Chain A
């Protein structure tokens, strides 16, 4: 079982803003670990959207942003588009017995 919990699904209409949460604990996010976010389009390999909590690689739309507070993090998609329909995963280093690296449970984003 994952130590990083995400909502199974979120949805929104085109143009709306959606936010995906990633809840951890003191052994990972709350303990200072960086949070990274991945997008997995249907039938494709994951790609990094955000690394180091807030950094967006070149080529990733500025509609994607992320933040971290305490033992939780969130990914926000502004101006939702049909092409954003995908699975999203957070990932962080965990200092507990189940570590070191852990992926969140994953969130399916549906564009209505």
Chain B
């Protein structure tokens, strides 16, 4: 059973770059899709993007595409999210998750425990 462990809570200053890592255990990162989803305090879920291990292809939420970068480190069984030029609106609980996709879409299971990111000066 794959398990995901996200980064520790982060405090990031406005305009800086947020960097998060998710470590995969109990399975290989050499398959599936590897996703990031966030949840602002008291609000709903927002898809950020996912990366396919095969070929390293990515998909992003268009509203975040210009600021987000996803990557995979197979040697460490980790995948990562970088989000630049952050503002207070990026304050959220950031979840990593495993994606299972086909031509009709992708679902996410399991999810990591979530990492709280606070953007503040």
Contacts and interface: CB of A to CB of B under 8 A. Distances in A.
A and B physically associate: yes
A20 interface: no
A46 B95 contact: yes
A45 to B, nearest CB: 4
B18 to A, nearest CB: 19
Nearest to A93: B105
B104 A93 contact: yes
Interface string A29-52: 000111010100000011110011
A89 B108 CA distance: 12
A57 B100 CA distance: 13
Given A45-B113, A46-B95, A51-B100, A100 B59 contact: yes
Interface of A: 2, 32-34, 36, 38, 45-48, 51-52, 57, 89, 91-93, 97-106
14 contacts: A34-B102, A34-B107, A36-B108, A38-B45, A38-B108, A45-B95, A45-B111, A46-B45, A46-B111, A51-B100, A57-B109, A89-B44, A91-B45, A97-B62
